[in-house]
Amino acid sequence: MALEKLFSPFSIGYLKLENRIVMPPMATNYATSEGFVSDRQIAYYVERARGGVGYINVEHTGIHEQGKASPKMLMISTDEQAAKIENLVEAVHAAGGKIVVQINHAGRQTFSKVTGAPIVGPSAIPALPGMETPRELTVSEIEDLVNVYTQAADRVKKAGADGVELHMAHGYLICSFLSPFSNKREDQYGGDITGRARFALEVLRSVRQSVGPDFPIICRLSGDEYVEEGLNVKDTRQIAKLLEKEGADALHISACNAASGYLNHPPYYVEEGVFVHLAAAVKSEVDIPVITVGRIRNPVMADQIIQDEKADLVSMGRALIADPHLPKKAKQGQFDEIIPCISCNKCIQTLRMDCVRCSVNPETGNETQFRYSKADRSKKVWVVGAGPGGLKAAEIAALRGHQVKIFERQNKLGGRVRLGANPPKKEVLNEFIEYLVKRVKALGVTIEVGKEFTLDMLDPVRPDVVIVATGASPQLPDWQGIEESGALSVDDVLSDGVDIGDKVLVVGGGGTGAEIADFLSEAGKRVTLVEMLEDIASDLVNHLQHYLKQRLNEKGVTIHTSAQVKELGMGYVMIEDASGTQKLDDFDTIVLALGSERPNDTIYKNLEGKVSELYVIGDARQPREIVDAVYEAEEIAIKL
Query: Which residues neighbour 233 within 8 Å (Cβ) at sequence distance 6 or greater?
Result: 223, 224, 278, 281, 282
* Among the listed residues 412, 417, 392, the one whose alpha carbon sits nearest the alpha carbon of residue 404: 392
Q: Is the dihedral of CA 128, 133, 137, 141 positive or negative?
A: negative
Phi first, then psi: give them for residue 62, nearest 5 degrees. Answer: -70, 140
Neighbours of 38 (CB within 10 A): 17
Q: Which of 172, 189, 547, 604 is catalytic?
A: 172
- Region of 246 on the Ramachandran plot (φ > 0 left; ψ -120 to 50 alpha; else beta): alpha
Cβ contact 275:251 at 8 Å? no
State yes or no: is 572 an active-site residue. no
Distance CA 527, CA 514 (A): 10
Neighbour tally for 129: CB within 10 Å: 6
Tell me how crowded residue 167 is: count the other CB atoms within 10 A of its CB.
25
Q: Are 68 and 112 spatial neighbours (Cβ–Cβ below 8 Å)? A: no
Is the previous residue joined to 460 through a cis bond, with omega within 30 degrees of 0? yes
Q: Rounded to whole angstroms, how far apart are CA atoms 362 and 322?
A: 9
φ/ψ bin of 494: left (φ > 0), alpha (ψ from -120 to 50), beta (otherwise): alpha
What is each CA distance from 342 to 117, 269, 339, in whole angstroms? Answer: 39, 11, 9
Phi, psi at residue 173, to the nearest 5°? -55, -55
CA dihedral sign, ordered 230, 232, 234, 238: positive
Euclidean distance between CA atoms 576 and 554, whole angstroms: 26
> What single-letter amino acid sits at 501?
G
Neighbouring C-beta atoms of residue 238, cutoff 10 Å:
14
Active site residues: 172
